[in-house]
Structures are given as structure tokens and as C-alpha cells.
Amino acid sequence: MSSAAWFERAQKVIPGGVNSPVRAFNGVGGTPVYFKSGKGAKVQTEDGTELIDFCGSWGPLILGHARQEIVDVVAKTAADGLTFGANTAKEAEFAELITTLIPEMEMVRLVSSGTEAVMSAIRLARGYTGRRKIIKFDGCYHGHSDYLLVAAGSGLLTGGTTSSAGVSPAATEEVYVVPYNDLEAVKAVLEADSENIAAVIVEPIAGNMGLVEPAAGFLEGLREATAACGTLLIFDEVINGFRLAPTTFGHTIGVNADITTLGKIIGGGMPIGALGGSTEIMSTLAPLGPVYQAGTLSGNPVAVAAGMKTLELLRDESPYLKMEILGKKLADGINRIAAEKGLALHCAQKGGMFTPFFRKEPVHNLDDSKACDQKAHAAYFHHMLDHGFYTPPSGFEVAFVSAAHTEEDIQAFLEAFSKL
């Protein structure tokens, strides 16, 4: 059956026909694409077409689809048992590998998703500090738990407002929302209410309003400001972790968060999440401390095996320079073509991450991102799709160059883009 036929069938039994809203293509219009298989940088659809994929399952597939070593270890592990709900040796080995690659992360707790990792990190921060409020940044997405589905409130020192039905106002009242890259706003909130603020949580490189890098001194300033008042700093590296180096982004720039959350890449395509930090803070988690967290599938052996093999390959092969070169070639090409055509467009890029923003001015925060021309992005998305390329079906997401992409893939992308 075609993608359209599958979507029609799915809508009868799945809300909106999808299991994650962005897949409905509401941001770009049209009928969602149904994938059938993938290998390397390419996917095959239920329509019988082949696409070069720059979405990579929203980030986990840094080594491309169905990397053989990962497929082999998943099959071998699955043959020994899918899950036990009990301890396995691989959990300890995986935790040892993560803490070796991220030295400031002395202990790690495995969970089953990035959302769960962040939810647990917030609870841990509150339990450790004895405080209840947090500061987050407008445009940074940290999963769909109640107190993180929050938009900016009416004023800097008021709690946020719900951005989803079903979220209790009591949850949002404990969350301050400030603009990304606005260090002075964070300092103002901390100065006014630091004794009640357990944590500041941030994506070190924002990836859910498009690719937005931290301003010079922003992350360092957050570290200094939080340390001065006993507030914990949480880096949500679900997207960033192992993206630019075989470690966290925080580690590469020498800014150590108190708690770091991980996901996506550390599962190699399987569902997983993790949170980690110092032994002192992590010992607040049960069964050592009073902060409860549990999960039947936490440390699932198949996900652990896939993640461990992925991190080992990233450590040993270090494809990061290749992805940086290809990413820069792609972004430079997009910017050159946009300039030649007089398009209101610029492409942000960091390593293998990129976002074409449909405005000429730089994007520093969510307001800047919202000012982009989303209709133009939708036209770009469908143009590239029609020419054999799959990119994120939203103007507020990051696209990815993987280790499986080639120079020929990038050149073909630019040739198709030049016809926009």
C-alpha cells in the first residue's frame, strides 16, 4: 500500500494517525511518508521510492541506518532474551563506558527515554536541593512531562503558562521561563528567588527551535550564576550528547553541569535515556537516597547492547571531522545559492547539524525562530522530498548529516536545492 493508504488506515485507530505529532506533517502540509526500510544514509518508503535521509530518526542514527555491527549485536542480544527486569552485566559495562567517556559523570542511571531522563533529573535536583522551582528557556524542549510543557508567562518573575491541555497550573507555577541566550534574565530571576530555585535546565546547543548555538559566555555564565546560589545546572544533552565528539558538548567546552541527561545516540536507534552526575548528587536516588525513580525496562539489554556498540564505534572511528566537513559544505552551499537567488534564507550549521532558517537575520532565540517564514520552509521541505531527500517536516527542528553520508549525497542535495 502507499503512504496515503497507510495514513488513512492509521487515522482510524491512532489519534491523528501518528504516534508523535510532528509526523503528521501539520507543519508542512501534505501526506506523511511511511518508511519501509533503511540502510546507511538512505531509506525506502512504502511508495517504492528511495530517499536520502537527513533526519536520522531525529538524531539517534549518527552512524546511519542499520549499521551492520549494531544490527548484529542487537540480534545476538535479543536471542539471549529481550528483557529480564533484573540486573545484567551489560548495564555495568555500559555505565563504565559512559563514565569513562564523560569523566565528570561519576555515576549514571539508565532509563527508557529522553523524556524520562529529564523528568528524573528535575526530581533529583529538587530532592537534592530541597527546593521546588526551576528555570527553563523558551524554545528548549525537554520532553513532555507536565512541568516542562511550559511557555513563557506574562512577566519575567511570574510562573510560566501551560502549552498543552491537561497540564496542571500548579506545575507551571513552579517554572520560570526566560529567553534562550539571555543570561541577564536568568541572573534577575536567581537574584529575586534563588532560595527556591532547584535547577536551571538548558539545551547547551538548542535543537528544538532549529539549530541555535549558545552566545559567547552564555553557558559559562549559567555555570557561575547557579554555583553562586546553590542552584543545580542541568544540561539536557539528549540531542547534543556524542553529537560533536565521543562525549558531551559540555565536556568539550569545559563547562561541567551538575546533572546531564542523555538519549538518542546512546541507544543506537533503540529506546533509551540516561542521567548522570557526581557521586554525591546521584546517591540521592533510590535505593541509596530518598528520591524515587524506577523502570521495568530501564537498562533493557537490547537497547544497552545497541548503545554500547554505537559509542564504541564513535570512539574508535571518530567520524566527527568527516561530518563537520560535509555539514559545512552543505551549509556553505545553501548560503551561496540563497545569496545568488536573493532568497531570505540562511543555513545555521554546527558539526553535522544544520537548519535552513527562512530569514536573513541570525537566530538567537525562539522569537527569532518564530519570525522565520514557515510557508517558505514547507515549500522547501516538499521540494526536497520531491527530489529524493527527506528532511525534518518542521521548521523548528535540526537536520543531521550522519557518518554514512557521502560527498556525492551533499552535492546531490545542493543541486536539488538550487532548483528551489
Active site residues: 141, 236, 264
Phi, psi of 157 (to 5 degrees): -105, 20
> CB neighbours (10 Å) of residue 316?
8
CA 172 to CA 134: how far, in whole Å? 10
Angstrom distance (rounded) from CA 274 to CA 285: 13
Three-state DSSP at 19 gives coil
Q: How large is the angle between the packed helices 218-228 and 183-193, nearest 10 degrees? A: 10
Dmax (CA) for the chain in angstroms is 61
Nearest 5°: the CA angle 94, 98, 100 is 115
Return d(Cα 106, Cα 245) in angstroms, integer. Answer: 19
Coil, strand or helix at 365: coil
**DSSP character for 59?**
T
Terminus-to-terminus CA distance in the chain, angstroms? 30
Residue 162 phi, psi dihedral angles, 5° rounding: -65, 140
Residues counted in the chain: 420
